[in-house]
Amino acid sequence: MPDTPPRPALAHHLTVGKGPPVIFLPGYASDMEGAKALALEAWAKAAGRTFLRFDYAGCGASEGDFEEQTLTGWRDDALEMLDLFSEPAIVVGSSMGGWIALMLARDHPEQVAGLVGLATAADFTDWGFSMDEKMALLQDGRIERASPYSDRPTVFTSRFWQSGEASRMTAASIPISCPVRLIHGLGDRDVPVDRTMHLLHMIRSGDVQATLVKHGDHRLSRDEDIALLIRTIEGLGSVSS
């Protein structure tokens, strides 16, 4: 059997402070230069907290070809970053990053002290694509969508989509026991709010709370959204300590 090639080198920024450490997982085709990641870094520096932001392979400043990446590959990238900590971390995931955060909390509970999901897009390869798009992915290997956040279209590949379909997790009880906080904007046009309400019921932990933001959009990057995120993380820190 041939050796599995190593994952591309990952770019990351680590702020060293007290724990529990906090790690931010970006959404699909996003990177560590987003408003939430930078705001959390500024908070961590001011509060003396340990915080890490990073780019998945093929994204931002990390090595790798974006179109060669998969959901499970990006999960492995997040786990590599989580391994940098010597104590369990609070994992903060945005959109697809929330899906990856759930996988980490389920499969590596000893490394996750708490989880914050922002517009968590768990299983979006199932509900986030039309049947025509799924057929095009299988036939053509890729599709492009106009992006509301960029002048360039967002690319999805059959490689990524198939990895996501093999990693679906919301059809049955999700064996996560750590505290979980889910935040979702009622103005989100990308991830239906009922996805968060479904997660609220499916996650096994007895300490799961959902916060709905009346005028929040998918990005949840307004000043008031970030203030809510920071308060949520600080509250989790007191629970897990």
Stretch (H or E) spanning 162? helix 158-165
Angle, CA 72 vertex, CA 209 and CA 9 arms, to 5° = 110
User: Pick from 27, 84, 24, 83: which is nearest to 54 by CA?
Assistant: 24
Known catalytic residue: 126?
no
Rounded to an integer, what distance in angstroms lies between the CA atom of residue 230 and that of residue 232? 5
Name residue 211's amino acid: T
Look at the alpha carbons of 36, 42, 46, 47 in this order and tell me if their dihedral is positive or negative. Answer: positive
Rounded to an integer, what distance in angstroms lies between the CA atom of residue 118 and that of residue 211? 10
Known catalytic residue: 173?
no
Known catalytic residue: 218?
yes
- Give the chain's length: 241
DSSP tag of 124? H
Residue pointed to by tokens 């389920």 = 106
Per-position b or e across 176-207, b if 16+ CB within 10 A of its CB: bebbbbbbbbeebebbebebbeebeebbeeee
C-beta of residue 117 within 8 angstroms of C-beta of residue 174:
no
Rounded to an integer, what distance in angstroms lies between the CA atom of residue 55 and that of residue 29? 10
Kindly name the residue from 95, 123, 167, 184 that is annotated as catalytic. 95
Which residues are marked as active site?
A: 95, 188, 218
